[in-house]
Amino acid sequence: MATQHSRMAARLMVAPSVGLLFVWMIVPLVTTIYFSFLIYNQLYPDRQGWAGFDNYYYFLTDRSFMEAIWNSIVLVGGVLIVTVIGGILLALLLNMPFWGQGIVRIMVIAPFFVMPTVSALVWKNMFMNPVNGMFAHIAKGLGLEPFDFLGHAPMASIIGIVSWEWLPFATLILLTALQSLDSEQQEAAEMDGAGRLSRFIYLTLPHLTRAITVVILIQTIFLLSIYAEIAVTTNGGPGTATTTITYQVALQSLYDNDVGGASAGGIVAVILANIVAVFVMRMIGKNLDA
Amino acid sequence: MARKPTTAAKTTVTLLAWGIGLLIFFPILWTVLMSFHSEGDAIKSPWDMLTSVWSFESYAEVQTRSNYALHFFNSVVISVGSTLLALAIAIPAAWAMAFVPGRRTKDLLMWMLSTKMMPAVGVLIPMYLGFKNMGLLDSRLGLVAVMTLINLPIVVWMLYTYFKEIPGEILEAARMDGASLRSEIIYVLTPMALPGIASTLLLNVILAWNEAFWTLQLTTHDAAPLTQFIASYSSPEGLFYAKLSAASTMAIAPILILGWFSQKQLVRGLTFGAVK
């Protein structure tokens, strides 16, 4: 089949992709690692030299680091809980026969295609604004006090916005998985007297496990680098209430000009993301063999 | 399903599904509705706004105040440009990996995917400083390059999963019938690969259009795509709801339409073939 000649051609065809990705991944990453060991602040160009592990020490012992980690966990965890549970329920509903399935599907998927800055600003201004937002108007209409969502519950509000963006993704994937469910098995179980709940727990849920895992893993990768939603709504505040690791590193490098410190933070973020990535890769790799 | 649901059950499900569907879609719908009203009416209570006079003035104002067309053009250049470039680099690679797999093909694919898992902040600083030194900050060229590299792994993967489904026997049959490599590619492979390439293109234009980390970090004005332009509304002056709505509507409309066409490929593309 494959001759020496075609193997050679294949290598040439793969080379540009591999080469570019290698450069793209290695050069900046190595530079970041290098910076992370330097005393390098653009505001103080005369102070230079090796920092050793000082940047890491300062970053990791800074109180804001633990806060940022915690905020990242709350944000990612919160969005995962809302989108996975909501996604399962919504997928089960959309999988039932009803009129206008096509249109409802389109409406449900739509938020996924809205750019992050638009969804964040629309929610912030048109809905959550305590004076002119829709929620404030509704509260006033009901005779209640309007609630300042981003001021008093900033993290919950951002979780809400991001969940709105990602619920369609979870729903779509879980719905696709549901559609490949063996209906004969379901009927057999029903004939044997299994109720709705036990059919869901013993047949549907195990069938969905794989899809749920995929949703959790892929969303985690994207959610860990959430940036725009925070930048245009709370700017990481009030205080540091919504500063995640990603946001903190971007802040430190671009606004504090602390290249060394931010680089150390970036490397810490890379290590944390890799822990997640190992699981993702194993999952997808398994599927490649199947 | 063997059993037909009762009409009552179907009606209940229909009402529930439409209710939830409308609720999820509502923020988008509301943005579109608001864009057709004046600034003064946009901050009135919802009912008062809906019953106020409809107008197109916000759309005109967005363009005259801020050169909306430039940012739209930037978005098109960056998303389409980077996608085409990525396709040009990825098609040969995916092709070779699908049809002439070697011992290390699987490892190579996994490694490519792993580059996608690296958080952007890990490479932000060298990229930013490098761009600054090369004068690429706020340039379309620089952004096209970054977006090409960001999406390259996904493009290779998507194409690979599509190409892999083209049965190898067909190629052998064509070869037996005396087709040359050239005619094999033109008459047999290309028609079979086109749908896969088209869906990859679509999904990647969408991803690049909505990318909001690098576009926010590396552009300020001249090369700023719509993500950055819309972000400028986070610190606005005066009343801006109607203008924000108009700018948002124009920014999401093209991608919403493309997205609805690509729903089916979306699952496959974003899960790297793990869910079909």
What domains can you pick out in chain B, each with its CATH number? 7-58 (no CATH), 67-234 (1.10.3720.10)
Whether the pLDDT of residue B1 is over 50: the answer is no
Average pLDDT, chain A: 85
Nearest residue on chain B to A181, alpha-carbon basis: B1
C-beta atoms of B100 and A7 within 8 A: yes
Q: Work out the average pLDDT over B186-203.
A: 84
Q: Work out the average pLDDT over A66-72.
A: 89
Residue tagged 């150390």 (tokens): A264
C-beta atoms of B124 and A281 within 8 A: no
Window B:103-122, CB contacts with A under 8 Å:
106, 108-110, 112-122
Higher pLDDT, A12 or B70: B70
**What distances in angstroms separate CA A223 from CA A22, A57, A151, A227, one per listed residue?**
24, 26, 22, 9
Window A:54-83, CB contacts with B under 8 Å:
none
Cβ A252 vs Cβ A258: under 8 Å: yes
C-beta atoms of B227 and A218 within 8 A: no
Beta partners for A39? A49
Q: Which residues of A touch B16 (CB under 8 A)?
A: 93
C-beta atoms of A126 and B112 within 8 A: no
Q: Work out the average pLDDT over A108-113.
A: 92
pLDDT tier, A78 (very low <50, low <70, confident <90, very high otherwise): very high
pLDDT tier, B276 (very low <50, low <70, confident <90, very high otherwise): low
Going from the N-terminus, what domains does chain A have, and what CATH number goes with each?
22-61 (no CATH), 69-183+209-261 (1.10.3720.10)
A39 phi/psi in degrees, rounded to 5: -85, 105
The total of other beta-carbon atoms located within 10 Å of residue A168's CB is 25
C-beta atoms of A35 and B125 within 8 A: yes
Query: How high is the pLDDT of residue B81?
Result: 95
Nearest residue on chain A to B161, alpha-carbon basis: A288
Give the closest-approach CA distance of B118 to chain A in angstroms: 6
Q: Work out the average pLDDT over B30-56.
A: 83
Q: Which residues of A touch B92 (CB under 8 A)?
A: 13-14, 16
Question: What's the sign of the alpha-carbon dihedral B134, B137, B143, B149?
Answer: positive
CB of A260 within 8 Å of a chain B CB? The answer is no
Nearest to B28 among A9, A21, A110 (CB): A110
Give the closest-approach CA distance of B100 to chain A in angstroms: 6
Q: How far apart are CA A240 and CA A242, in angstroms?
A: 6
Q: Work out the average pLDDT over A250-274.
A: 82
Q: How far apart are CA B54 and CA B21, in angstroms?
A: 26
Window B:17-36, CB contacts with A under 8 Å:
17-18, 20-22, 24-25, 27-28, 30-31, 34
Instruction: Pick from B89, B104, B121 the residue to mutate for testing the A interface (most A CBs within 10 Å).
Output: B121
Residue tagged 């259009």 (tokens): B209
Q: What is the pLDDT of residues A229-257, one digit of tens each?
A: 998 888 887 888 889 888 888 887 777 77
Average pLDDT, chain B: 85
C-beta atoms of B112 and A18 within 8 A: yes
Window B:237-266, CB contacts with A under 8 Å:
240-241, 244-245, 248, 251-252, 255-256, 258-260, 263, 266
Q: What is the pLDDT of residues B61-79, one digit of tens each?
A: 888 888 888 999 999 999 9
Query: How high is the pLDDT of residue A123?
Result: 94
pLDDT tier, A121 (very low <50, low <70, confident <90, very high otherwise): very high
Nearest residue on chain B to A220, alpha-carbon basis: B117
Cβ A14 vs Cβ B92: under 8 Å: yes
Query: How high is the pLDDT of residue A2?
Result: 53
Q: Work out the average pLDDT over B180-194.
A: 80
Query: How high is the pLDDT of residue B4?
Result: 66
Amino acid A148 reads: D
Higher pLDDT, B217 or A166: A166
Q: What is the pLDDT of residues A170-181, one digit of tens each?
A: 999 999 888 887
Q: What is the pLDDT of residues A20-43, one digit of tens each?
A: 988 888 888 888 888 888 887 777
Q: What is the pLDDT of residues B149-160, one digit of tens each?
A: 988 988 998 888
Q: Where are the alpha helices (DSSP H) in A110-256?
A: 116-121, 134-141, 149-152, 154-179, 183-191, 196-199, 205-224, 228-233, 245-254
Query: How high is the pLDDT of residue A151?
Result: 86
Q: Work out the average pLDDT over B168-178.
A: 79
The total of other beta-carbon atoms located within 10 Å of residue A185's CB is 12
Residue B256 CA, distance from chain mean position: 9
CB of A232 within 8 Å of a chain B CB? The answer is yes
Q: What is the pLDDT of residues A130-166, one digit of tens each?
A: 888 889 888 888 888 888 888 889 999 999 999 999 9
Query: How high is the pLDDT of residue B127?
Result: 87
Q: What is the pLDDT of residues B86-145, one digit of tens each?
A: 999 999 899 888 888 888 888 888 888 778 777 888 888 888 888 888 888 888 999 999
Whether the pLDDT of residue B252 is over 50: the answer is yes
Whether the pLDDT of residue B218 is over 70: the answer is yes
Higher pLDDT, A77 or B276: A77
Query: How high is the pLDDT of residue A165?
Result: 94
With CA atoms as reference, report the closest residue to B132 among B210, B208, B220: B220
With CA atoms as reference, report the closest residue to A251 among A227, A275, A276: A227
**What distances in angstroms separate CA B149 from CA A281, B78, B204, one per listed residue?**
20, 12, 12
CB of A240 within 8 Å of a chain B CB? The answer is no
Query: How high is the pLDDT of residue A120?
Result: 93
Counting other chains too, the contacts that A246-249 makes at CB distance below 8 Å and 24 or more residues apart are: A246/A72, A246/B119, A246/B120, A246/B121, A247/A68, A248/A64, A248/A65, A248/A68, A249/B121, A249/B124
Q: How far apart are CA A37 and CA A22, in angstroms?
A: 23
C-beta atoms of A18 and B108 within 8 A: yes
pLDDT tier, B2 (very low <50, low <70, confident <90, very high otherwise): very low
Query: How high is the pLDDT of residue A288?
Result: 61
Query: How high is the pLDDT of residue A101?
Result: 87
C-beta atoms of A117 and B24 within 8 A: no
Nearest to B28 among A114, A121, A266 (CB): A114
Window B:199-218, CB contacts with A under 8 Å:
206, 209-210, 212-213, 216-217
Give the closest-approach CA distance of A195 to chain B in angstroms: 16
